[in-house]
């Protein structure tokens, strides 16, 4: 399977799907608080997606590369869960950090985004991890332009992350997205500048670094076929945007009214 390049109609479809995905996170935001279960967040998201937005929750029954279909409509990854956390009756508590990962399908197009939430007064270390991970994502995004290489994105994320004392998960990466949930190319969050595929207008990719407070090593948790955790039980954070390569630079398709403020350094580099 090769990289897909979206035409004007495809870009319009991606803009709609990505906006809707971001709006799910906006809708969930006031509900993400101590005492709520991740099952409740999943139910709220599912009902909003299917009954209000008229979209399909892409994770629900998604097969992925394993044998077990994903059983819920969103991913909820708490504290040391790196990714693919399955909603459950576990209630959030003060001090937790949680990633909500949303992918919707609208008219055949996939919009994919995730956001971190801090429950109450988290530790200084947890808040710093969340902030650095957000900025690391944007350090990757600002490298997006025609003629740049995927290695430029990975290197920018890795350099910033490691300079702040954190580590980059290597087993999971960003990806092309469009008519399919996961398309080529793989978007690594580490690497060397000037390497890997060249970015061209019409590409839509996710940039979604998973950053650990401790070592980068991970492992599968339990036997649910999905949940990934840090091997050393350290905290992990992730942010994700879907990004379009434009003729002059990039367009972040998953920004919404409730998205966190873009870092100051981005305004100086955006095109």
In whole angstroms, give the CA distance from residue 57 to residue 214: 32
Is residue 3, in this structure, part of any structural domain at all? Answer: no
Residues 6 or more apart in contact with residue 237 via CB below 8 angstroms: 97, 99, 116, 129, 130, 133, 210, 211
Is residue 148, in this structure, part of any structural domain at all? Answer: yes
In whole angstroms, give the CA distance from residue 223 to residue 215: 23
pLDDT of residue 223: 84
Is residue 202, in this structure, part of any structural domain at all? Answer: yes
Is residue 1, in this structure, part of any structural domain at all? Answer: no
Looking at the structure of the chain, the number of domains it has is 1
Is residue 151, in this structure, part of any structural domain at all? Answer: yes
57's enclosing H/E stretch is strand 56-57
Is residue 225, in this structure, part of any structural domain at all? Answer: yes
| Residues 53 and 23: beta-carbon distance below 8 Å | yes
Is residue 88, in this structure, part of any structural domain at all? Answer: yes
Domain of 204, CATH number, reads: 3.90.230.10
Burial class (CB in 10 A: 0-12, 13-18, 19+), 250: buried
Rounded mean pLDDT for each run of 10 residues along the chain, 271 residues in total = 94 98 98 98 98 98 89 98 97 98 98 98 96 98 98 98 98 97 97 97 98 96 92 98 98 97 81 47
Q: Residue 167 belongs to what domain range?
A: 8-267
Is residue 197, in this structure, part of any structural domain at all? Answer: yes
């Amino acid at each position: 399977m090769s990289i897909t390049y979206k035409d004007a109609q495809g870009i319009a479809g991606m803009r709609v799907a990505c906006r809707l995905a971001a709006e799910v996170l906006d809708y969930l935001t006031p509900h993400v608080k101590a005492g709520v279960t991740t099952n409740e967040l999943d139910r709220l998201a599912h009902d909003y997606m299917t009954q209000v937005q008229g979209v399909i929750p892409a994770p629900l029954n998604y097969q992925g590369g394993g044998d077990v279909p994903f059983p819920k409509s969103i991913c909820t990854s708490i504290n040391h869960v790196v990714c693919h956390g399955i909603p459950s009756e576990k209630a959030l508590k003060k001090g937790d950090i949680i990633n909500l990962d949303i992918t919707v399908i609208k008219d055949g197009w996939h919009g994919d985004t995730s956001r971190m939430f801090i429950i109450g007064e988290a530790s200084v270390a947890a808040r710093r991890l969340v902030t650095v991970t957000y900025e690391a994502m944007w350090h990757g995004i600002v490298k997006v332009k025609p003629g740049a290489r995927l290695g430029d994105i990975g290197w920018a994320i890795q350099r910033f992350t490691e300079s702040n004392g954190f580590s980059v998960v290597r087993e999971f990466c960003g990806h092309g997205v469009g008519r399919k949930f996961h398309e080529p190319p793989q978007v690594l969050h580490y690497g060397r500048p000037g390497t890997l595929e060249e970015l061209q207008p019409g590409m839509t990719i996710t940039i979604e670094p998973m950053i650990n407070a401790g070592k980068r090593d991970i492992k599968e948790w339990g036997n649910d076929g999905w949940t990934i955790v840090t091997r050393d039980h350290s905290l992990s954070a992730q942010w994700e945007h879907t990004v379009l390569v434009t003729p002059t630079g990039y367009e972040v398709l998953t920004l919404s009214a409730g998205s966190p403020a873009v870092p100051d350094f981005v305004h100086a580099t955006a095109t």
